[in-house]
Every structure is written in structure tokens, then in C-alpha cells.
Amino acid sequence: MKLRDPIYVTRSSLPPLEEYIGYLRQIWDSHCLTNNGPLVQRLEQELRQYLDAPQLWFVNNGTTALLLALKALNLHGEIITTPFSYVATTGVILWENLTPVFVDVRPGDLTIDPDQIEATITPRTSAILATHVYGFPCDVTAIDAIARRHGLKVIYDAAHTFGCRLDGRHLASYGDISCLSFHATKIFHTAEGGAVVINGDRELTERVRLMRAFGHHGDDHRCIGINGKNSEFHAAMGLCNLPRTAENIAAKRQQHELYHHLLGRAGLDLLFTSAADFEYNYAYCPVLLPSESRLLDTMQQLSTRGIIARRYFYPSLNRLPYLSGNTCPLAESAAARVLCLPMSQQVDDQLIDEIASIVIEASK
Ligand SMILES: *Cc1c(COP(=O)(O)O)cnc(C)c1O
């Protein structure tokens, strides 16, 4: 068999080098590298328009976005959260010395099950931190109603949602705060980066802005802060990539549809949302295999052909070795069996065909 480069689940898209160099020239001319420079401000403006989110700040990564959200909302005690997400979602709660309380997910789309939230609320609960996992929308209406009834804040980990719309609104416009990641592996990226979208009052927006830059204006120190700023170099990457988002989504959609056609026909359990009035970004193609041993076999079969699929997400976060989480049977079962299939410019129809055949065969 002919050797080829390894095929990964994602591969960062890069703009034409010349285009990026054009921005580098601007940076060299201005000598402004960071601290809310002109390119950062321009990207923020373009993101506000794209996301229809007037109150947005560009930050150095999605994890900092989540930390800023927790801090700016002044949360305490217990945070109700999902066990099925990237480790950062639970990590920020622990980092802030808050207590994660896990609520199991719904079958089908693996977002937090709103019907199980109320039973876990205690006098110590201050917020719900849920993930639109794979970009599939949480039941935002139910979660909002619960939060209002109990006086809780709602934060969404919207790291996967760039380009996803529910009821005509970008998913980042839900919750008190939504946090986006623009990491190199995400559908829109700035190499490293993220954004905080504030859907609350201006005062909260101002607090996030202050906290992002050490909590002070000149010599006026107003609140605790952190360095959450991002650089002109990262903003330049974003300015190059943003206009290509629609094109990227269209390419992913084609790959996604082919996987669904081939694997669906073979009766495999493909995860997808059943949300009405939803526009997807097609960023991920997760498939649920019948058992963990079938999953491990499938990964082995794929890797002998240089195809690196990813257990995304594993483990279920309530099982992280450094915490003692309550059990979540559905999330644990899904985490043991879920595989995300490669989708990138490296992947053509023929390769999808090959991957689908291996998955179908190995999962029998
Ligand atoms: C990527 C990701 C993050 C972290 O974002 P970074 O920009 O890498 O810090 C958080 N949550 C989820 C669900 C993610 O996929």
C-alpha cells in the first residue's frame, strides 16, 4: 500500500500565505503587537456582525473565555454541568474552586438533559454551565425557564457552534454568557483564541472587558483580573479566515452528508440533533459504536491505514480521576463508544468511502 500522511480528525485550514503577510506588514508598520490593537478591534467588530452579538470580546482562548464568564458572574458553590464535553468545561469550574454537579445527557444529541436538572438544584447552586456539544443545541428554552425559576445564571460552552443558528439566531446569543473557542481545530480559528459573548447588561460586559486586561484602567484598579488578551497576529489569522467560513461549512457539509449516507445505510448509530429550525455547521461527524471493544477495534483498523479517528469525548467528565463525580450512565456509555470521523481538506470522497467501509466492517 502507498504511504500517505496520517489523516487526522481535523486539520487546520490556512489562508493563502500572501494574505497573511499583508497583515504582517501592517503589524510591522504600526509596531503594535498586542493590547487591544487595531486588528483585534477590527476582528471584534467583524465577529459582532457575523454573530449578531453586539457585546463580544476577543480573548486568548476558549478556556479563558469560560474562566472570565465564571468570574464576571461572581458565581459560588455548585455549578450544574454536563459530563459530556471537552475537559475544559469541568476544568474551569474546578479551577475556580466551584463544585461541578453533573446532570446526565439526552440520548441522540448528548446535550444535558433538562428534565434532570431541577432535581439536582440545591441552595448552593448558582449556575448552569452546559455545552452545545458538536454544535448541537442544548434545549435552551427549557434551561432558560429552569434558570429563571431558580435565579440561576446560564453559561454556554459554545466552542463548537461557530456558524450554528437556532430560530435564526446564532447559538452564541443564548444564555447570560456564551463562550466560543477559535482554536486551530475549530471550524473558524485564529490559531489560538476565543470570544466571550455577553447577552446581559452593559455592566457585565464592562466587567468582562476589565477582567480580560488585569482589571484596571491605567492606575485605576477596579477588580481582580487576568491576562485574557489576544494578539494582533491571532487577530490577523481571524481576519483572513472569517470570510472563508461559509465555504468551509459547505465543504464540511458535503463530507458529513456522505458519511451519513454510507453509515446510515449500514444502520450505524450516527449522532445528530433533532432541533427544529436549526442550521448546522457540520463541524463534527460523531458515530456511536455498539461497544467499547468494537470502538477500539475500529480505531486499530483505521490506524493501520494511517487514519487517526478520535475518541471525542472520552472519558465522561464525571469520571475524571481527580474528582469524585456522581454517576451519569448515558454519558459514560456514550463516552466509551463514540468516535469522531476525519473531516478536513485532506479527506476526499474516496477516503470517506474507505473509512466508512472500515467502520462498518469493524463495528459488526
Ligand atoms: C476547544 C474546546 C474548549 C477549549 O477551547 P480552547 O480555545 O482550546 O481553550 C472548551 N470546550 C469545548 C467543548 C471545546 O471543544
Q: Bigger pLDDT: 10 or 349?
A: 349
Is the distance from the beta carbon of residue 157 to the nearest atom of ligand 1 less than 6 Å? yes
What pLDDT does residue 200 have?
Answer: 85
Q: Contact 126/152 with Cβ under 8 angstroms? A: yes
Domain 244-362 has CATH 3.90.1150.10: yes
Pick the CATH number of 17-242 from 3.40.50.720, 2.60.40.420, 3.40.640.10, 3.40.50.10190: 3.40.640.10
Over residues 181-220, the pLDDT tens digits come to 999 999 999 999 999 999 989 999 999 999 999 999 999 9
List strand residue ranges (DSSP E) for 210-279, in order.
Answer: 216-217, 220-221, 269-270, 278-279
Q: Quick one: the chain helix, strand, coil %, rounded to 5?
A: 45, 15, 40
- Please list the alpha-helical segments (H only) found in 157-244: 202-212, 232-241
- Residue 12: per-residue pLDDT: 86
Dihedral angle sign, alpha carbons of residues 315, 317, 322, 327 = negative
pLDDT at 361 over 70: yes
d(CA 232, CA 238): 10
Q: Is the Cβ atom of 143 under 6 angstroms away from ligand 1?
A: no
> In sequence order, what are the residues at sequence separation of 6 or more whose Cβ sits closer than 8 angstroms to the Cβ of residue 149?
none
What pLDDT, in 10s, does the model give residues 277-326? 999 999 999 999 999 999 999 999 999 999 988 899 999 999 999 999 89
Average pLDDT over residues 334-357: 94
C-alpha 118 chain-centroid distance: 25
Q: Is the Cβ–Cβ distance between 274 and 332 less than 8 Å? A: no
pLDDT digits (tens, 9 = 90+) for 29-57: 999 999 999 999 999 999 999 999 999 99
Cβ of 181 below 6 Å from ligand 1:
yes
Q: Does any ligand 1 atom lie closer than 6 A to the CB of residue 178?
A: no
Average pLDDT over residues 68-94: 98
Q: Is the CB of 88 under 6 A from ligand 1?
A: yes
The answer to whether residue 274 scores a pLDDT higher than 70 is yes
For strands 7-8 and 307-308, give the pairing.
parallel
The per-residue pLDDT for 2 is 55
Closest ligand 1 atom to residue 63 Cα is 9
* Residue 8 pLDDT: 82
Closest residue by CA, ligand 1 atom 5: 62
- Is the Cβ atom of 60 under 6 angstroms away from ligand 1? no
Q: How many other CB atoms sit within 10 Å of the CB of residue 14?
A: 15
CA distance 356 to 262: 7
**Ligand 1 atom nearest to CA at 182:** 7
Q: Which of 342, 356, 347, 312 is nearest to 8 (CA)?
A: 342
Distance 2 CA to ligand 1 centre (A): 35
Give me the pLDDT at residue 99, please.
98
Domain segments of the chain: what residues?
A: 17-242, 244-362
Confirm or reject: Cβ of 8 under 6 Å from ligand 1: no
